Structure 1
């Protein structure tokens, strides 16, 4: 046997083993989803018996799972919802998942695409799509199932579309190195309208010498729409840029509607400690200083550096349920977001919850409205704490010194969270500033093959004066071919 033949047999064995391991992982994922769903059902039943409303009973199971597995609450919520769907609607999909014949991404593709289908359509199509999914990747499963739905029930598509449109959303999550990931679901026409508007701005409001590639200009165009400028500014640097109208004032961006926590030393350039961009996470010092150029400042002093106040008769503000504006800003700045583990709700979206209950009947007898007795909690975890205080969900939420909060689950798990904002406002370790030369700008990204200024200019004219449909029609007659599957 030749050496190359032996290597070929070894590769075949590796691929076969890879298939087996992937199937084992899929079966383990199915069991994990089922266990999460079981825990949700147990907690829901317990809380319903204790009088918790049906709308919220069991919702803290996702937080409990997050503490046990160190996963995000959002991830646990999604898997519980998937498990409920598998139990109630998609028995064939659940069986194939448990056997390891299809994995989690393909299960999600089936569940999400059939979400708005009638029970009759699910019964008609599920077995077919499960068999198909065993031989196809998730994206092809989605496309094929959408086509089958249209073929089986064309009249029902309008109702399914309207139901899907009702679930539209836009969200922003943290990405790497000070960037953010924009995700959303829009009605088809609205999504295409947005994309065409960004494309139009990217191709008509900058000349061919703008150093940005098309993707960068489209991204900048979306920001320009959001911050009120409404148009792109060409970055070619030429005084005679054909895309600059001398009679038109330069667009001015609105001030950023964001909250950034940063130390005074970093803001002054004496240190380069990271800053906290509320809702997204850590950003570098240079970006924090850029945002601060047009910001309104709120000076937050270190609670640990202040001497303890002597006991005194409570002030009027301490005996009111709603905190004073100054105290509210301090608590939100120190906490930096919801204090529950695995929760990413920014401080502006949280309630200021009293750790020791406020006594509405006799305020002097109950928990006072002071900084040490207030904490940021999103509405969901505010409910969890309130139910815990009432003995209705088995949780315990305990305050410790230095604003630390311990969350004890009904199953015996425990985690302590620290105030995230304080770590950035008062860093324990000073990061020395970068050299006077600063941080160099990234080299502009150039196309692999540059067709030259003449072709670039002609392409820009085509994009300006020809609609996308006209351009596609021309391309279809110039030696192109189409492959259908």
Structure 2
């Protein structure tokens, strides 16, 4: 807030705060601070942002009570208590009235519908952006008898670990669906009813064309667009991938040509179009106009067998979108282009305890996971295992957490379900070729946990939950490695000293030792039963 012309400038109170409130870092000495202190200081600043947002909402709640709850004229179209409160906030902060109204609404929702989530914001467990996302996702539970239970369960899960944007939405949807599937169904129906297309003007002579449709149609449409834009230009086309996709979308919607812009006479993607040939009167005339391709691509939907057959109403998961209701699952399964593939091969015997044991690796290569294990770890994680990454697990690499020992497979990390997870290519390469370390284990409750350790030794917790929370049946499936005899080693050269283990083997041994120390820190053993 700026001072008036007649008042002196306010003292810089924020600059006078002790360093403990500013991430523990004095800006004057930040160049000398250890990197771990800087990173931990940033997390402290995040908690400070959350607490300031908490205080902002508390103030908005008081203003609301003063002008709305304590007054009777709350039903006016323009002039009422709510308008008075919003106008005061808007003018004081020089923001729009709509922004002030949103602040008031969010503050009241957090206080009255999500009090436990609100305290998570005050404790710095979540950010204001995450609180706003939860407000939107829980809109249909307002006034329901189970709303306090949903609030408490969401808050309990928030305090278990970190959540990416996608994981947070999945967690909230999962909890709501368990209490009231109709809340999720009605939200989808309402969203589908509002499907539309609109144009929004942007600066510098551009505009944005937006289409809202079902999640599966949107993913199919974009996959087709991206595949066609990539296939119908040569390597010399100077446009970027987004530019090509934009040009192709316009061509498809208007029926105009989409052509490679390399400008070369020997372009390898020159394609004849019937319209151009008919216009020119020459049947075999060459043309740079390109015909759309028909790419083959897959979107993955996960559900349990009972829901698919209509014997249960459990939620499903649409890759790239999130949690979907049982009716949506069966709609997708009924599509003529749907292919249903069971995770457990038919005829697999069940163990006495109700679990299934399947081979984790190929018989010919203990390093390569079976097709079933590869699908399992992608289903279980849903997204990349790197904290905060939202890359689809189906677009990631399947990677051994504890490194596989190619020299002695029985000694290194095994190809099993608990020793593998999906990693996006950048995270996979970073872990493989630098000093980063990741670990994965099951805690005392049988829940799969992950964490990463920076080269400087800072431990970063992974996502708070996996898709096992949405599909508990995944815990009944176990993938084990086949016993592998150690390879025969040649006798060392007596004339020249040689390494008994390679540099890679030594690096893997050091990483195994560090993981062991980390697990002792968690007071857990490396092999916790389901």
The TM-score by the shorter chain falls in which range?
0.3 to 0.5
TM-score by length of 2: 0.40
Name the structure, 1 or 2, with higher relative contact order (CA <8 Å, separation 6+).
1
TM-score by length of 1: 0.43
